[in-house]
Amino acid sequence: MNDEMRNESEEERSRRRRARIEEMKRQKRRAEFLQRRVFPLAVAAVLILGMVGTVGFVRSRNYIPKDGGASQTVGGAAGDGSGMEDNGTPADGSGTGSNGTLADGSDRESSDSASVPMQQVGSGKTQTTVSQTISQGQGKADNRDERQNLRQPGGSEVADGVQGAGEEDVSGSDSRDIYGPLPEGEWHPKVFKAGATVSTAEFSSEIISEYGVLIDVENETIVAQRAGKIRMYPASMTKILTVLTAADALGILGPEGENSPVLDEKFTITIEITDYSFVNDCSNVGFEVGEEVTVRDLFYGTILPSGADAALGLAYYVSGSQEAFVELMNQELERLNLLGTSHFTNCVGIYDDEHYSTAYDIAVMLKTAADNPFCRKVLSTRTYTTSQTEQHPEGMTISNWFLRRIEDKDTHGEMLCGKTGYVAQSKSCAASLACDVNGKEYVCVMAGSAGNKNCMNDHVKAYQTWLTGEMPQ
Structural domains for the chain? 194-466 (3.40.710.10)
Q: Which residues contact 411 (CB under 8 A, 6 or more apart)?
A: 434, 459, 460, 463, 464, 467
CA distances from 429 to 233, 364, 424, 451 (A): 9, 16, 11, 9
- Amino acid at residue number 289: V
How far apart CA 381 and CA 417 sit, in angstroms, is 8
The DSSP element (H or E) to which 301 belongs, if any, is helix 295-303
Q: Are 405 and 432 in contact (CB under 8 A)?
A: no
427 has which bridge partners? 423
Model pLDDT, residue 305: 97
Q: Which residues contact 101 (CB under 8 A, 6 or more apart)?
A: 107, 108
Q: How would you write the pLDDT of the chain (473 residues) with one tens digit per residue?
A: 445 444 556 667 666 666 666 666 666 666 665 666 656 666 667 677 766 665 554 454 444 444 444 433 333 333 333 333 333 333 333 333 333 333 343 433 333 333 333 333 333 333 333 333 333 334 333 333 443 333 333 333 333 333 333 333 433 433 345 555 555 545 566 799 999 999 999 999 999 999 999 999 999 999 999 999 999 999 999 999 999 999 999 999 988 899 999 999 999 999 999 999 999 999 999 999 999 999 999 999 999 999 999 999 999 999 999 999 999 999 999 999 999 999 999 999 999 999 999 999 999 999 999 999 999 999 999 999 999 999 999 999 999 999 999 988 888 999 999 999 999 999 999 999 999 999 999 999 999 999 999 999 999 999 999 997 665 44
Pure H helices in 34-154: 39-61, 130-137, 144-150
Q: Are 322 and 312 in contact (CB under 8 A)?
A: yes
How far apart CA 241 and CA 16 sit, in angstroms, is 34
CA dihedral 110, 112, 114, 119 (to 10 degrees): 10
Model pLDDT, residue 463: 96
Model pLDDT, residue 190: 79
Model pLDDT, residue 183: 52
Quickly count: other Cβ atoms within 10 Å of residue 469's Cβ: 12
Q: Among candidates 438, 436, 435, which has minimal Cα distance to 473?
A: 438
Model pLDDT, residue 95: 39
Q: What is the pTM of this model?
A: 0.65
Query: Is the backbone peptide bond immediately before 181 cis, with ω within 30 degrees of 0?
Result: yes
How far apart CA 190 and CA 194 sit, in angstroms, is 13
Quickly count: other Cβ atoms within 10 Å of residue 275's Cβ: 16
β-strands 221-226, 195-202 pairing: parallel
